[in-house]
Amino acid sequence: MAEPIPPIVQLTDVRKAFGSVEVLKGISMEVDAGNVVCIIGPSGSGKSTVLRCINGLVSINSGSIRVDTHQVETLRTEKMLVPLRHDVSMVFQQYNLFPHKTVLENVLMAPIQVLKRNPDEVRSLAESLLAKVQLADRGDAYPGQLSGGQQQRVAIVRALAMEPKVMLFDEVTAALDPEMVKEVLGVIRDLANEGMTCILVTHEMRFAEEIADRVYFTDGGIIVEHAPPKQLFHNPEDPRLRAFLDKVL
């Protein structure tokens, strides 16, 4: 019999406090390779912090985080974090592009400067990725010249150019106009269909229901309930989740 494949991302009793405010009060979750996991919950419930902990942007106080072969809480220096950042890419609510670099440079910089990859190889990868999100002709534009939806697609391409194993999406449509939300969600949907492991923090409940293999509901720094989307959205158990869904659906 084949060994069961361990989950690619595993959080065990993760705790994090900013000053005296405890934001994460023991978060445990597992994400299997190729799965899409959505984290939903009210503002300030620690959703974004979970993502930032997974790629080491935020260090945790206790518990453990494993991503593939990386034991995140043991990575103390920036040099040690580089291999993790290679495997885990993040897309942000505010795009977080480099304003003084062109679209193509934004995509090329990190693979060349951080991963020391061959510039020619990265360039052809970047060009094919940009073509995939219908931005092949905007390589020379600056982020400030693009619409929000275009900027967010560039940010997704920039994250993909690291050739990650896991993609983190932090409310990536929250700052977008409604008509631009669709184009960005479309890109994420394609990624998910291609088998990319994705962890999304989102307020797009319908999208979460459609795309997720599993949905986690956080409130007050703990995971209140997690289940496949059908069950979580249509048959919620916890009263807090029920109240939340009543408000947002």
For residues 179 to 218, the per-residue mask of contacts with another protein, x marking binding by CB under 8 A and - elsewhere, is: ----------------------------------------
155 binds another protein (CB under 8 A): yes
Contact 122, 88 (CB under 8 A): no
Residues 159-178 that bind another protein (CB under 8 A): 159, 162
Residues 43-102 that bind another protein (CB under 8 A): 55, 57, 78-79, 81-82, 85-86, 89-90, 92, 94-100
Stretch that binds another protein, among 64-72, 135-143, 184-192, 231-239 (CB under 8 A): 135-143
**CB half-sphere exposure, 124, CA atoms < 13 A:** 3
CA torsion, points 238, 64, 39, 90, in degrees to nearest 10?
Answer: 170
Stretch that binds another protein, among 12-20, 40-48, 138-146, 223-231 (CB under 8 A): 138-146
Contacts of 193 (CB under 8 A, 6+ apart): none
Please, which residue, 25 or 101, has the CB nearer to another protein?
101
| Least gap, CB of 84 to another protein (angstroms) | 8
| Least gap, CB of 190 to another protein (angstroms) | 22
Please, which residue, 35 or 106, has the CB nearer to another protein?
106
Count of residues that interact with another protein, criterion CB under 8 A: 33
Which of 16, 66, 158, 226 forms a contact with another protein (CB under 8 A)?
158
Stretch that binds another protein, among 26-34, 60-68, 119-127, 154-162 (CB under 8 A): 154-162
113 binds another protein (CB under 8 A): yes
Which of 124, 134, 145, 193 forms a contact with another protein (CB under 8 A)?
145
The contact set with another protein (CB under 8 A) reads 55, 57, 78-79, 81-82, 85-86, 89-90, 92, 94-100, 109-110, 113-115, 141-146, 155, 158-159, 162
